[in-house]
C-alpha cells in the first residue's frame, strides 16, 4: 500500500473524527434497568396471582436451561422456568444485524472431552456427533472452518495468536520454558473441564492462592510477547488479565485442553471448536425450544423463601407490572450468586460468603455490520477469530465465516472487550454513550482495516455489567465457592433449594454451567 493511500484511509482514527456517513445502531440485548430494580429499597405490591408447580427454576441461562432439560429427561414435566430478559441464554444469546445472525456473547464451544459426559450427551442429542465404526465423529458443518485465527502484529497479519512474527531468540526461549512448566504441571495433577469432576491436588490449590502474574514472575517469565499473549488468554476466558486472575486459572486455560505449544514443537492436531453465526445461541435456543408454556420471560425474581411444605417464589412481571407468586416443592436457583444472595430470604452463610467473595467482569460486545469486504493488510486470509496485538479489545469474529461463500461480502464482525481490570469498568460501561464506544471501536479496528469506518453501516452494542465471575486468588486456596459437588455427602440428597450457576465453579464457561445445571435438575 502506498503511504498516501494509507494516510487517506486512516484519517478517522488519527484525527479522532466521527464517521463521514451515518452509522446507525445503539445499545441492545440487555434490559439492565430491570435488574437495577433490585438495588432499590422498595415495597413490592401484593401478589396478583398465585401459581403452583412441582419445580421452579429461577434463571434461564445455560445452567437453568440444563436443569430444565435434566428434569425432562427424568420424566418431570411439571416445572416452570423464570427468566429476567425477553429471551433465554444468558451470556449465550444471539441477535440479528443487517439480516445476519450474530452472537451477543459466547461464540464457540470446544469439542468436549470425556471429562464432560453431560455436555457430550447434549451434543449427541442435538445431532452434532454420532458414533461411526466405533468412533465418535462430529458434524463438520458445525466445526470451525479454516483459517481459524490470526494476529495483527507489526503492521501485518500472522497465522495463529501466539506472537511469532519478528520475535527474537529470547522470546522463543521463554515460550519453550512456559511450555515445559505447563507440561510439568499436567504430569503432576489432573486438569479437567468441568473442574468440579475431580478433587484438586495440592499443587493446584497452591496455584489458586496467587495471581498468574506472580507465578510468571517467580519463574522469570517476563518476555513482553509471552506476557501479552497470556494476558490476552486470561482476558478472553476470564474477563481480566494475569494481574487479577489466579495462577490456577491461568494454567488451567492450557493444561485442561491443549497444553501450550512453543513454535517449532510437535503441535499435533489443532483443537476443534464448534461455532455458529449466532454463537452459542445455537445451543441455548434448542435447549429452550421444548419448554413451551413452562418458560416465562420478563420475570424478575425478587424473593425466594423456604416454607413449611416447599418453597415460595415472588416474581415481578415486567410486562404487566404486577407481582406473581409461585409455590413449588423445590426450587433450582440458576442465578448469579450476588443476585441469589439478595433474593433468598434468610440466606445461608455459604451464600452470603460466596456473594461477598465473587468479583465480576463487565463485558462489551459490539456487532458491526459492514456492507462489503474490508481492505486487508498483508498476511493470512481473513479468519474466524481476528485479534490485534496490544489493543484494548479482544478482536472480533466473523459471523459469516461458516457460510462457505466463495467471495467475501457483507458480514457482521462481533467485537469483544473485557473490562474486568479496567478501573470503574462497570460505571464506564453504563455511562459512556454509544457514539463514544462507536468511534473508539472503529478507531481501534482501523489499525488493521483502514476502511472500516467507510464500510460500517450499523453497530449494535450489548453491555454486561456482571458478565462472569473472575477466578481471583483465594486465601483458602479453594477453587469455586460452595461445596456443591456430588462428592460431598451432605448434598447428595435432593434439597428444597439447589444452586446451579457457573459462578459456583469460580469461572464462566459453558461446560461448567451446563454440568452444574444438569446435576441440580437430576437430583
Place of cell 510468571: 216
What is the rounded distance in angstroms from the CA atom of residue 489 to the CA atom of residue 150?
47
What is the rounded distance in angstroms from the CA atom of residue 239 to the CA atom of residue 441?
18
Among the listed residues 465, 443, 416, the one whose alpha carbon sits nearest the alpha carbon of residue 102: 416
Place of cell 410486562: 319
pLDDT of residue 6: 31
What is the rounded distance in angstroms from the CA atom of residue 325 to the CA atom of residue 79?
14
What is the rounded distance in angstroms from the CA atom of residue 349 to the CA atom of residue 442?
46
- The DSSP output letter for 141 is T
Count of C-beta atoms within a 10 Å radius of residue 406 = 6
Instruction: Measure the CA angle with vertex 516, ends 29 and 483; round to 5°.
Output: 125
pLDDT of residue 134: 79
Helix (H, G, I), strand (E, B) or coil at 7: helix
284 and 88 Cβ atoms separated by less than 8 Å? yes
pLDDT of residue 267: 53
DSSP H or E segment with residue 49: strand 49-58
pLDDT of residue 19: 55
pLDDT of residue 20: 63
What is the rounded distance in angstroms from the CA atom of residue 459 to the CA atom of residue 338?
31
pLDDT of residue 389: 98
Strands 156-159 and 149-153: what pairing?
Answer: antiparallel
What is the rounded distance in angstroms from the CA atom of residue 290 to the CA atom of residue 269?
37
Among the listed residues 394, 395, 436, the one whose alpha carbon sits nearest the alpha carbon of residue 418: 394
What is the rounded distance in angstroms from the CA atom of residue 337 to the CA atom of residue 353?
10
What is the rounded distance in angstroms from the CA atom of residue 162 to the CA atom of residue 381?
17
Cis before residue 147, ω within 30 degrees of 0? yes
- The DSSP output letter for 420 is T
pLDDT of residue 212: 98
What is 228-286 written as a DSSP string?
A: HHHHHHHHHHHSS-TTTSBHHHHHHHHHTTT----TTS---SPPPEEE-TTTTHHHHHH
Strands 108-110 and 295-296: what pairing?
Answer: unpaired
Strands 322-333 and 311-317: what pairing?
Answer: antiparallel
Judge if pTM exceeds 0.85. Answer: yes
pLDDT of residue 376: 87
- The DSSP output letter for 211 is B
Count of C-beta atoms within a 10 Å radius of residue 272 = 14
What is the rounded distance in angstroms from the CA atom of residue 442 to the CA atom of residue 454?
10
Place of cell 459512556: 432
What is the rounded distance in angstroms from the CA atom of residue 73 to the CA atom of residue 54?
15
Domain 35-86+297-359+480-522 has CATH 3.50.50.60: yes
- Phi, psi of 53, rounded to the nearest 5 degrees: -155, 165
C-alpha cell of residue 431: 455511562
Contacts of 236 (CB under 8 A, 6+ apart): 394, 416, 418
Over its length of 523 residues, how does the chain's per-residue pLDDT go in tens digits? 333 333 333 334 433 445 568 999 999 988 777 777 777 767 888 999 999 999 999 999 999 999 999 999 999 999 999 999 999 999 999 999 999 999 999 999 999 999 999 999 999 999 999 988 878 899 999 999 999 999 999 999 999 999 999 999 999 999 999 999 999 999 999 998 998 666 788 999 999 999 999 999 999 999 999 999 999 999 999 999 999 999 999 999 999 988 899 887 655 445 789 999 999 999 999 999 999 999 999 999 999 999 999 999 999 999 999 999 999 999 999 999 999 999 999 999 989 999 998 999 999 999 999 999 998 888 999 999 999 999 999 999 999 999 877 667 899 999 999 999 999 999 999 999 999 999 999 999 999 999 999 999 999 999 999 999 999 997 544 555 544 433 333 334 457 999 999 999 889 999 999 999 999 999 8
pLDDT of residue 484: 40
288 and 88 Cβ atoms separated by less than 8 Å? yes
Amino acid at each position: 500500500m502506498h503511504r498516501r493511500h494509507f494516510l487517506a484511509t486512516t484519517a478517522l482514527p488519527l484525527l479522532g473524527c466521527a464517521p463521514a456517513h451515518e452509522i446507525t445502531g445503539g445499545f441492545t440485548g440487555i434490559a439492565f434497568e430491570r435488574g437495577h430494580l433490585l438495588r432499590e429499597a422498595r415495597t413490592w405490591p401484593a401478589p396478583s396471582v398465585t401459581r403452583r408447580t412441582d419445580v421452579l427454576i429461577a434463571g434461564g441461562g445455560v445452567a437453568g436451561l440444563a436443569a430444565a432439560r435434566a428434569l425432562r429427561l427424568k420424566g418431570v414435566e411439571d416445572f416452570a422456568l423464570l427468566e429476567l430478559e425477553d429471551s433465554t441464554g444468558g451470556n449465550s444469546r444471539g441477535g440479528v444485524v443487517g439480516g445476519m445472525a450474530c452472537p451477543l456473547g459466547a461464540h464457540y464451544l470446544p469439542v468436549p472431552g470425556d471429562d464432560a459426559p453431560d455436555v457430550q450427551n447434549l451434543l449427541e442429542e442435538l445431532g452434532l456427533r454420532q458414533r461411526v465404526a466405533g468412533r465418535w465423529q462430529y458434524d463438520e458443518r458445525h466445526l470451525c472452518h479454516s483459517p481459524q485465527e490470526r494476529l495483527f502484529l507489526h503492521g501485518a497479519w500472522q497465522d495463529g495468536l501466539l506472537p511469532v512474527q519478528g520475535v527474537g531468540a529470547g522470546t522463543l526461549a521463554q515460550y519453550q520454558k512456559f511450555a515445559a512448566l505447563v507440561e510439568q504441571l499436567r504430569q503432576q495433577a489432573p486438569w479437567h473441564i468441568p473442574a468440579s469432576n475431580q478433587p484438586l491436588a495440592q499443587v493446584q490449590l497452591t496455584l489458586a492462592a496467587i495471581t498468574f502474574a506472580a507465578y510468571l514472575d517467580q519463574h522469570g517469565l517476563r518476555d513482553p510477547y509471552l506476557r501479552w499473549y497470556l494476558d490476552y488468554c486470561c482476558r478472553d476466558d476470564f474477563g481480566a488479565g494475569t494481574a487479577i486472575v489466579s495462577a490456577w486459572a491461568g494454567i488451567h486455560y492450557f493444561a485442561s485442553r491443549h497444553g501450550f505449544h512453543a513454535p517449532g514443537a510437535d503441535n499435533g492436531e489443532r483443537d476443534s471448536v464448534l461455532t455458529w453465526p449466532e454463537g452459542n445461541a445455537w445451543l441455548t435456543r434448542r435447549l429452550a425450544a421444548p419448554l413451551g408454556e413452562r418458560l416465562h420471560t420478563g420475570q424478575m425474581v425478587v424473593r425466594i423463601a423456604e416454607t413449611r411444605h416447599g418453597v415460595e417464589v415472588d416474581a415481578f412481571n415486567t410486562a404487566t407490572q404486577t407481582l406473581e407468586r409461585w409455590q413449588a416443592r423445590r426450587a433450582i436457583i440458576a442465578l448469579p450468586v450476588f443476585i441469589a444472595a439478595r433474593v433468598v430470604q434468610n440466606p445461608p452463610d455459604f451464600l452470603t460468603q460466596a456473594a461477598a467473595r465473587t468479583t465480576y467482569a463487565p463485558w462489551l460486545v459490539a456487532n458491526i455490520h459492514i456492507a462489503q469486504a474490508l481492505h486487508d493488510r498483508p498476511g493470512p486470509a481473513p479468519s474466524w477469530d481476528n485479534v490485534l496485538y496490544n489493543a484494548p479489545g479482544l478482536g472480533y469474529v466473523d459471523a459469516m465465516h461458516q457460510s462457505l461463500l466463495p467471495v467475501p461480502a457483507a458480514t457482521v464482525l462481533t467485537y469483544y472487550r473485557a473490562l474486568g481490570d479496567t478501573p470503574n469498568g462497570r460505571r464506564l460501561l453504563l455511562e459512556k454513550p454509544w457514539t463514544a464506544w462507536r468511534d473508539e471501536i472503529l478507531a481501534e479496528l482501523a489499525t488493521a482495516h483502514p476502511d472500516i469506518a467507510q464500510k460500517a453501516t450499523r453497530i449494535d452494542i450489548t453491555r454486561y455489567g456482571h458478565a462472569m465471575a473472575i477466578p481471583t486468588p483465594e486465601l483458602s486456596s479453594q477453587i469455586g465457592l460452595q461445596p456443591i459437588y456430588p462428592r460431598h455427602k451432605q448434598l447428595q440428597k435432593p434439597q428444597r433449594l439447589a444452586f446451579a450457576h457457573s459462578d459456583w465453579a469460580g469461572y464462566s464457561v459453558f461446560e461448567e454451567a451446563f454440568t452444574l445445571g444438569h446435576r441440580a435438575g437430576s437430583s
